[in-house]
Structure 1
Amino acid sequence: MSTNFTPPTERRLFGIGLALLAYFMFTGIDSSAKWLGMVGVSFIQIVFLRYFIHLLMVAAIHLPRHGTALVRTGSIRLQGLRALALLGSTACNFLAVQYLPLTVTGSIAFTVPLLICALSVPMLGEKVGWRRWTAIGVGFLGVLVIVRPGTDAFHPAALLSLLGALSTAFYMLFTRRVSGFDSAATSQFYVGIFATICLLPIVPFFWSWPSTADGWFAFFAVGVFGFVGHQLITMASGLAPATVLAPFAYFQIFFMAAASWFIFHQPPDVWLYVGAPIVIASGLYIWLRERKLAKPVVSIANEA
């Protein structure tokens, strides 16, 4: 009898640990992007670095193992749409974090499961009952509490952040479809190659080199955090079902709050403490309904 058997409970706990580490990495993406913006690097260049470094790491790690199989896909069209959706999400988010605290952009990102639920009706032909529609509405009321439109506290960048969340929702829905015929490595490759090709013609016009050690660290970290985070969440998904991992994505708000407070000296304001729990509670309710109805659950982390 083999002595290497790992009890399912331990595998799930390890998967949860990897997922939490992935969410820490995703916070590192936004923190690096915000820091690069503060030291004068264009957000176009920041987005390019995020995907170009990601592409180099995917190629270095997966090409020797998979060879040409890495680039074979069941649908280049769906992979392209998926990559463009994530590129749009990243661009919106990286621009938004230059003007908003990470806690605000992170809280708005938690509307992704609400948007996925709403979009599943026209895109997947699913039926959404009045309970989940109510949860969607309540969740967006929470967003209004956070951004407070019509007041002096409102910044138009909040709309960019919301548009980024919408793009992420499309990305998640496309991911659900391509996962049926392409490996995670192939999907990561196409995310990197499409974004790099799209930005390569224009990024030289916005290019600048960091002039400080912390700027150089963020220069490379924005891509490394992205690649490692995606690798960890893929590994976690192989150890624990999505229904187990999904709620732990909300722990990212603690990582965002810590980074915002200690790195950028932007502590959360009182309205975030009111609005964020409303958004999170709405997302958790939808997760519970999806689980009860035995529908697929997708990641709700901010993976820009």
Structure 2
Amino acid sequence: MALRLGAAVCVSAMFIAGRVASTRGVHIVETLFYRQLLALPVVLSWIAMTGGFGSIRARRIGAHATRMVVGVAGMALNFLSYILLPPAEAVTIGFTMPIFGTILSAAILKEKTGLHRWSAVLVGFLGVLVTQRPDAGELLPLGVAVAIAAAFMTACVSLILRELGRTENAGNIVFWFTALSLPPLGLGAVLYGGGHDPLTWALLLFIGLSGGAAQMLLTGALRWAPVSVVLPMDYSSILWIALLGLLIGQGWPPATTWIGASLIMVSGLYIAWREHLHARRQRSA
């Protein structure tokens, strides 16, 4: 739980830094490139200390390539949602990822999804509607659409990781995601990148290091505890985002954001609990 909490802090700080970097003239493709490039040494150090470099041999390079494309698209949408929306609203809508995961599991994997989980899905979407309060004229419809698309793509990544995890270890998956993304992102950085002042370069360095640290912490958390135990720590992001938002002049989120976030969190936690019960029944069967 402590590792997952640390990951939530790192991810929150990374997205806030990405928002600030965008105001200093950094293109989002450039942000993604440095996010991956500067995370690579962190990932390689982690692999060296755990399974060794022999563990990164890819058995299913096509599946890794698919994970890279979907993962980079999801990452781009997530960064963009924090640029287009107030950070607290962006993270709140991002909490709908387990909801989309339930929908995709039922539609693609044909998993049985009963009334309980479908009810939780409806409650989660009600929470999204609550965040879009009548006085929220400053919330761009495009930003809301991007945040929802980011949550959907993140849910797609979770399904791909579930399939990859059957044959590949965590270090292998993280390494190939990072390595395969660098050539296309590097080309994009050449086309859209530029010179920056020292503070902006420091922000890009921070984005890469915090992103790499978050990957290690997330993976480490799942080594020590199941998803249903560590998932609640993810929802602490709303607090870290709110505090960091204050530091960059965003103000404190309104009551509707907290109410909507609470509904989405209850929905996500209930879905996780139902999945835990389902997995336990399968093991005992």
Deviation at 1:245, TM superposition (A): 0.8
Given the alignment of the two structures, is residue 190 of structure 1 paired with residue 176 of structure 2, yes or no?
Answer: yes
Aligned counterpart in structure 2 of residue 125 of structure 1, from 92, 101, 110: 110
| Equivalent residue, structure 2, for 1:173 | 159
Query: Which of residues 119, 127, 133 in structure 2 aligns to 1:134?
Result: 119
1:1-304 correspondence to structure 2 within 5 Å: 16-62=1-47, 66-70=52-56, 72-148=57-133, 152-155=137-140, 156-213=142-199, 215-294=200-279
Distance in 1 separating the partners of 2:98 and 2:45:
33
1:51·1:192 contact (CA, 8 Å) conserved in 2?
yes
| TM-score normalised over the length of structure 2 | 0.91
Task: Mark the CA change 1:199 to 1:184 in structure 2 (over 3 Å): closer, same or farther.
Answer: same
Rounded to whole Å, the distance in 2 between the matches of 1:236 and 1:134 is 29
Alpha-carbon contact 1:260-1:266 (below 8 Å) kept:
yes
Q: Measure, in 2, the Cα distance between the counterparts of 1:277 and 1:189.
A: 35
Residue 236 of structure 1 and its aligned partner are, at CA, apart by: 1.7
Shift of 1:63: 5.8
Q: Report the alpha carbon displacement of residue 149 of structure 1 after superposing the two structures with TM.
A: 8.1
Task: Give the drift of 1:111.
Answer: 0.3
Give runs of ≥4 in structure 1 deviating > 4 Å. 148-151
Q: Which structure 1 segments of 5+ residues have no match? A: 1-15, 297-304
Measure, in 2, the Cα distance between the counterparts of 1:282 and 1:267.
24
Amino acid at match of 2:65: G
* CA distance, structure 2, for counterparts of residue 45 and residue 97 of structure 1: 16
State the Cα distance separating 1:68 from its structure 2 match.
Answer: 4.7
User: Could you tell me how far apart the structure 2 residues matched to 1:267 and 1:150 are?
Assistant: 16
1:272 to partner: Cα distance:
0.3
Query: Structure 1, residues 41-73: CA drift from partner, whole Å, max 9, x if none?
Result: 111101111112122432355369733541x22
Distance in 1 of aligned mates of 2:237 and 2:182: 27
Paired AA for residue 289 in structure 1: R
Where does structure 2 lack aligned partners over 5 or more consecutive residues?
A: none
Using a 3 Å threshold, how does the CA distance of structure 1 residues 295 and 230 change in structure 2: closer, same or farther?
farther
Partners in 1 of 2:280 and 2:35 — Cα distance?
Answer: 32
Contact 2:47 2:171 survives alignment (8 Å):
yes
Q: Distance in 1 between matches of 2:153 and 2:249?
A: 26
Go from structure 1 to structure 2 and tell me whether the alpha carbon gap of 1:241 and 1:151 turns closer, same or farther (over 3 Å shift).
closer
Greater percentage in helix: 2
- Percentage of matched positions with identical amino acids: 27
Q: Structure 2 CA distance, aligned partners of 1:205 and 1:160?
A: 24
Compared CA separation, residues 295 and 28, structure 1 to 2 (3 A): farther
